[in-house]
Amino acid sequence: MAGTDRSKESRTGGPAVVLVQPQLGENIGMVARAMMNCGLGELRLVAPRDGWPNPAAEAPASGARAVLKAARVYETLCEALADCHFSYATTARPRGIIKEVFTPKGTAADLRRRIGEGQKTALVFGAERTGLEAEDVALCDVIVNVPLNPAFSSLNLAQAVLILGYEWYQSGDETPEAYLQTGESPPADKGEVSAFFERLEDELDSVNFFWPDHKRPSMVRNLRSLFNRLEPTQQDIRTLHGVVSALIMARKKRGPRK
Amino acid sequence: MAGTDRSKESRTGGPAVVLVQPQLGENIGMVARAMMNCGLGELRLVAPRDGWPNPAAEAPASGARAVLKAARVYETLCEALADCHFSYATTARPRGIIKEVFTPKGTAADLRRRIGEGQKTALVFGAERTGLEAEDVALCDVIVNVPLNPAFSSLNLAQAVLILGYEWYQSGDETPEAYLQTGESPPADKGEVSAFFERLEDELDSVNFFWPDHKRPSMVRNLRSLFNRLEPTQQDIRTLHGVVSALIMARKKRGPRK
């Protein structure tokens, strides 16, 4: 059944994933799962070897059965791409074909731009063993190649879909590359931190920790710098106060260290 | 057997991959394959459920059995990390833990910096069903979280390793985001392109294609711009010359179009 129902097509806003002559139902299921991980929902199958629907796809799809259910089947890649404006052939070995080659990251940026302009796009993947035939690649606009260990670069089908989907998702995601996960406790403010330092330094002064006197300023500075590196939360400061109290108690119990 | 043989450790220059209590041998095999895809060679197993070596890991590892063979087994995560300076806990659910959180991309950048400084690093992954326990996360320095569809973000073990390994590999890879794959044919130079344009325009002039006259300059400009968009190779230019010759022949055969 060729694609006639256009109403569902922009369900996800992302590219369609087209599998050309996929062999194992298990792999189709794992592709569906990888797609859902990445917020992609539109799966197109070109002449799946074992027919469709294929019960073998169900379990590996795990929570992504909705993607399988919405999958559409085509007889040829040409039909599967009929309503698309731009398509990307994923292939590791573009022998003698003259085409632009994108990395997955470059693909994601290009997808965002084209989809933003209202273009319908498709990522095209070949069969498990053979990959895309030259005729299939020729039908697509550009090639996508995943830069990986040249001595061992073949990805299985679901992993290739995952890498492309991952880059698609990242290109629209704004998570900073690193941030502090503080749980329920907000970061301590400088007043709370200073109050802790002053208490700690008072206690340490009481046992002449900062000795000799002329080294006191640099010793205090180093100690403050050490705890500041923690970027302490309010809970951290409470914990540190507790540790100081406990150590003082231990000292009192054992008697002062000589 | 705890890690004593340091000579093998920097085999790959990349981080070690540490699997905590992995359950299925199949998954360990797929992890090895994903590692090798990404140029990672150092696998550490903490208390694998089914013992080690595990024959079930062999087939899924496909060409990456060398990674399995070199894997080392530890009783605890603490032992597996004993020689590491910095470790990254991959976990989707860092409940109430106060730690820095990295994306895979941020992790890759941080790994490059630390490894460049001579630090030994480890990426730590939990068991298939349960992920890392809070105690395991506490042993690591930072958390890695893969930003994915929040409604469906759980990755299987090998896919999580693949994403981290992929970002590690990309961070050291210099493939441009898009480039022209020209096969054996180098790009045409401007002289070859101009010669083709002139021939084409002469032929088109001979049948008064550029009409009316005052529109000629913009029509020529549009046509040149159309073919320039191809970024033609030398082979493309030869092909286009051939097409022009063939069309002229067809015209001669059929007689001039009226």
Q: What is the pLDDT of residues B129-165, one digit of tens each?
A: 889 998 899 899 999 999 999 888 889 999 999 999 9
**pLDDT at position B84:** 92
Q: How confident is the model at residue B180 (pLDDT cuts 50, 70, 90)?
A: confident
Tell me the count of A-B CB pairs closer than 8 A.
147
SS3 for A17? strand
**pLDDT at position A129:** 85
Residue in A98, A154, A177 closest to B181 by CB? A98
Q: For residue range B36-69, list pLDDT tens digits in order.
A: 999 999 999 999 999 999 999 999 998 899 999 9
Beta bridge partners of A73: A45
* pLDDT tens-place values along chain A, 258 residues long: 333 333 333 345 899 999 999 999 999 999 999 999 999 999 999 999 999 999 999 999 988 999 999 999 999 999 999 999 999 999 976 666 778 899 999 999 999 999 999 999 999 999 988 899 988 998 999 999 999 998 888 899 999 999 999 999 999 998 888 887 666 677 888 888 889 999 999 988 888 888 898 988 888 888 888 887 777 888 889 888 888 888 888 777 776 555
Nearest chain B Cα to A151, which residue?
B37
Q: Which residues of A touch B233 (CB under 8 A)?
A: 98
Look at A149 and B169 and tell me if their CB atoms are within 8 Å: yes
Q: Nearest to residue A29, comparing CAs of A70, A57, A62, A65?
A: A57
b/e code A208-220 from CB counts within 10 Å (16+ = b): eebeeeeeeeeeb
Between CA A111 and CA A166 the distance in angstroms is: 13
b/e code B150-168 from CB counts within 10 Å (16+ = b): eebebbbbbbbbbbbbbbb
Q: For residue range B3-23, list pLDDT tens digits in order.
A: 333 333 334 589 999 999 999
Look at A94 and B180 and tell me if their CB atoms are within 8 Å: no
Tokens in use for B18? 């540490």
Per DSSP (E only), the strands in chain A are: 16-20, 43-46, 72-74, 86-90, 99-102, 121-125, 142-144, 178-181
User: Which residue has tokens 């020209």?
Assistant: B182
Q: Which residues of A touch B236 (CB under 8 A)?
A: 98
Q: Which residues of B touch A94 (CB under 8 A)?
A: 181, 183
Q: How far is CA A114 from the centre of its chain?
A: 22
Amino acid letter, B187:
P
Between CA A80 and CA A41 the distance in angstroms is: 16
Question: Are the C-beta atoms of B47 and B75 separated by less than 8 Å?
Answer: yes
Nearest chain A Cα to B187, which residue?
A98
Q: For residue range B185-241, list pLDDT tens digits in order.
A: 778 888 888 899 999 999 888 888 888 989 889 888 888 888 877 778 888 898 888
Nearest chain A Cα to B234, which residue?
A98
Q: Which residues of A touch B102 (CB under 8 A)?
A: 177-178
Tokens in use for A17? 């994933």
Look at A181 and B100 and tell me if their CB atoms are within 8 Å: yes
Q: Which residues of B touch A143 (CB under 8 A)?
A: 181
Between CA B106 and CA B85 the distance in angstroms is: 18
Q: What distance in Å separates residue A60's CA from the closest CA in chain B?
A: 11
| Residue A206 exposure: Cα atoms within 13 Å on the Cβ side | 10
| Residue A257 exposure: Cα atoms within 13 Å on the Cβ side | 10
What ipTM was estimated for this complex?
0.78
**pLDDT at position B138:** 87
Between CA A152 and CA B165 the distance in angstroms is: 13
Look at A233 and B98 and tell me if their CB atoms are within 8 Å: yes
